[in-house]
Chain A
Amino acid sequence: MSTAFKSNPSRVSPMIGMAWTYTWLYKLGEYFWQQSGQLQDYVNFVLCEADPRWDQQRMAAQIIKKEHPTADSTTLWLKPPAKWQGFKPGQYVTFECEINGSRVRRCYSLSNSPADFERTGLISITVKAIPNGKVSNHIKDHIAEADLVYLSHAQGVFSYQLTGAQENASNNQEQPKDIPEEASQYLFLAGGSGITPIKSMIEQLMEDRTFNHPKITLVYTTNNEGDAIYLERLRQLAEHQADFDLHFHASDDHGYLTTKQLRQWINEPSTTDAFICGPSAFMESMQTGLRKHGIAEDHIQLERFGAAKPAIKPTQGKLTTYFEPTDHTLINEGESSLLDMAEQAGLNPKYGCRAGICHECKCKRPEGELINGQTGKAIPHDQSHIQPCVTYATSDLVIHQWT
């Protein structure tokens, strides 16, 4: 082939040659940035000095607009970089910003539709400020328009085209074209800020006129109307779309939503797909309710990121620690340090001073509640590494990988 190219250049149009060179250079660039090394660090340093949005090692997104849809919530409109791969309705991103010099990460559902992103190049997240919430209050009070934050690609399987097919969830490229035939209704149950991924799905369904989607029912509950994000927008949609019903439920006036009430919105349980997002207690009661009314387990999807995790109180008594690398289970009362426990479990961890000085034993943060034995303070969940010689468990732990 290459000889043909050389001997007979006139047969190959220059356009193809250029396209070929461009593709080749693009692939080379891609390969270069997939590697990590000093050269990449230095080139990236020069790029970031010129414009921090050109960061090749992280995905910098600029805040284009900041709004407060309710008193304690904030909507951020972000412009992700060109290499950001887009998303499916209902997915979330890992959002990273810097607070007092320290990088913190949280997962937030995207609340606009992919169609809207294609039109405007913007994505939006809405964050409700939790009392004492570090990131949510930082977003509310300190993040300003034109600031840069960092994103991951979209993640998550909470989406309608994957109904009943969780195993296909990893296939991110799947296009929303084949709605499972049996679905006659999509029932969305949103509690509080759990509306965000659901709004994304509903808007996308409304936009996508290329296929007939099932009837859409949204049951949205908050304390009162003042707390309800996007309520105006959703009411407008419901007014103009015959196949979309909105039922708003203010729990301050009518009490919490009961499983009994749920029945009135389910047309045909066997062909209903349900999506629940909201506080844990809400999700649990709704899930039980749906099951009671005859909706099969694999037709109910839950998204847990919308809700703040309940604070786990330090357990008094027996704690179980499970070491995945050695398949070892350890039961104690939280009296020994993680380093001691790892040794008991036969992990052979690196260690040094065993007094929190030398950082030699540093390891990945295991799953569970931990405290620093020197300060007595809880170790945040998004901290990447810990010093196991001065770390103690206050709940059950799972240790996936030591270092």
Chain B
Amino acid sequence: MNSIVETQLAEQDLTPTKKDLAQAKEELAPIKKELATTTKFNHWMTDEQLEEFGKELTALREETLKEVGQEDADYIRSIIRKQRVCEISGRTLIHFSINPITWLAGVGLLSVSKIMENMEIGHNIMHGQYDWMNDPKLNSQTYEWDTVCDSESWRKTHNYEHHTYTNILGKDRDYGYAVLRLSDDTPWKPRHLFQFINYGLLSVFFQWGVGLHELESERIRRREISLKEKIPFLKRISKKASRQVFKDYILFPLLAGPFALKVLAGNALANLGRNLWASTIIFCGHFTQDAHTFTQEECENESQGAWYLRQMLGSSNFTGGRWLHIMSGHLSYQIEHHLFPDIPAHRYPKMSLKVKEICDTYGVPYNTNSFGKQYFSVLKRILQYSLPDKNPLPKKAIPEKALA
């Protein structure tokens, strides 16, 4: 019996032709597009569910804040101690190296120190994670870090703009840093064909890219704003940048007298190492394959719960050992960092367990993978969007499961 049906079915050619497929796709495209543009990123949750979801995360925040105390003070001080020991010994080794191996060791230590200072110390202190310690040296408003970017500019472009409008196209200028096309919402232009080169350059000169971020050069080019408006910023950044350049490329080399070149090269290499590392970590946080983007319309008047959800969908974590997390300033827990930017970052690993549980309850995808896989997906994404897409569709989050 079965074999008869099978034969009959086989006689009828049921495989759709290429033409059929193309036709179906064409018919579906407008429907899909309409669906995609009219559905909000939080489409699978009712307002009540979103509110509950937000409340659970706020409860986690309150719970963790209660525990913040001596342990966190001891932690950040021990990290600062390690960083300073690294920096002092690194600079000493570069100065008094007897062979390329000791010199390289010095460069490595200095680079590690700069990474720790930028990621785990400076970035986190400036988020206000340690303000409660009441220590003027660890205060978010007065801290100045070891990079070209001046901290006032950073607090504006990063703490406010990036953290409030995370991955909202046209509002979050960290999205692609105005040089990369990472979503079909950005219209394709021939220059995007070479964006991989731009990515390489941005990574190499990352501290300068971050430092000049507030200049909004793309908006100046489009004549939306004038250079005049940016004069106060330019004054600030040139002051900070000249300090940094003076320290690493003039003062310390001159202190070494005849070995000035060796020190200059060592400092440059240490800065390069830090630039590449910082850029890699930051790209893994928001530009992985499954990190979502949002339109301004869908984020209007968003509730606390929707805000949390957007932070989650727009961020991605990576896994690794304790020191990978420390060296990334715990931005390996980018999701937790975006949910709770002012909670001491070393608490994110513990918090992530509860966050995952909440994600599971509400069907929210939790974007995490190994460091290598996440980074590979970033590179893939940069390459993929170098080319135009014929049927651009905004990316929508797909719930892990349907909610009752």
Contacts and interface: CB of A to CB of B under 8 A. Distances in A.
Partners in one complex: yes
Interface of A: 41-42, 45-46, 49, 98, 100-104, 352-353, 357-360, 362, 375, 382-385, 403
A205 B139 CA distance: 44
Contacts of B127: 359
A360 B155 contact: yes
Interface in B65-102: 68-74, 81, 84, 87-88
Nearest to B340: A357
A385 B342 contact: no
A100 B72 CA distance: 9
Given A357-B164, A382-B134, A385-B131, A101 B72 contact: yes
Contact of B133 (A49, A101, A362): A101
What are the 5 A-B residue pairs with the smallest beta carbon separation, nearest first? A101-B73, A352-B160, A359-B128, A100-B69, A103-B134
A357 B87 CA distance: 32
B70 A359 contact: no
A82 to B, nearest CB: 23
Contact of B71 (A101, A360, A384, A385): A101
Contacts of A383: 134
A45 B133 CA distance: 18
B171 interface: no
- Name which of A42, A49, A352 has the most chain B CB atoms within 10 A of its CB: A352
B360 to A, nearest CB: 25
Contacts of B139: 384-385
Contacts of A357: 163-164, 341-342
A102 B76 CA distance: 13
B133 A352 contact: no
B213 to A, nearest CB: 15
Interface string B109-142: 0000000000000000001100111111101110
A362 B141 contact: yes
Interface of B: 62, 68-74, 81, 84, 87-88, 127-128, 131-137, 139-141, 155-156, 159-160, 163-164, 341-342
A384 B136 contact: yes
7 contacts: A42-B84, A101-B71, A102-B132, A103-B134, A357-B163, A359-B127, A382-B134
A41 to B, nearest CB: 7
Nearest to B164: A353
Label chain B's interface by main secondary structure. helix
A104 B128 contact: no
B135 A358 contact: no
Could you tell me the dominant secondary structure of chain A's interface residues? loop
A362 B135 contact: no
Given A100-B70, A102-B132, A384-B139, A358 B160 contact: yes
Nearest to A103: B134
Contacts, number: 73
B160 A360 contact: yes
Give the interface centre of B84, B87, B141 by most chain A CB atoms within 10 Å: B141
B88 A42 contact: yes
A392 to B, nearest CB: 18
Contacts of B136: 384
Contact of A101 (B69, B128, B137, B163): B69
Given A359-B128, A359-B155, A352 B137 contact: no
Given A102-B73, A362-B140, 19 more contacts: A41-B137, A42-B84, A45-B81, A46-B88, A100-B70, A100-B73, A101-B72, A101-B73, A103-B133, A103-B134, A352-B160, A353-B160, A357-B164, A359-B131, A360-B155, A360-B160, A362-B131, A384-B136, A385-B141
Contacts of B164: 352-353, 357-358
Contacts of B87: 42
Nearest to B58: A374
A102 B71 CA distance: 11
Contacts of B131: 359, 362, 385
A90 B74 CA distance: 37
A359 B342 CA distance: 8
B128 A362 contact: yes
A101 B344 CA distance: 13
Given A359-B155, A403-B141, A104 B84 contact: no
Contacts of A385: 131, 139, 141
Contacts of B155: 358-360
Nearest to B137: A41
Contacts of A358: 155, 159-160, 163-164, 341
Given A102-B132, A359-B127, A353 B163 contact: yes
Given A42-B88, A45-B84, A385-B139, A102 B160 contact: no
A357 B162 CA distance: 12
Most A-side CB within 10 Å, residue of B68, B88, B134: B134
A352 B159 CA distance: 8
A352 B127 CA distance: 12
B133 A360 contact: no
A384 B127 CA distance: 16
A245 B159 CA distance: 64
A384 B132 CA distance: 9
A98 B73 contact: yes
B181 to A, nearest CB: 27
B220 to A, nearest CB: 23
Contacts of A360: 155-156, 159-160
A28 B49 CA distance: 66
A352 B164 CA distance: 8
B110 to A, nearest CB: 14
Contacts of B133: 101-103
A51 to B, nearest CB: 15
A357 B337 CA distance: 11
A100 B68 CA distance: 9
A79 B190 CA distance: 73
A384 B351 CA distance: 28
Contacts of B74: 101
A102 B69 contact: yes
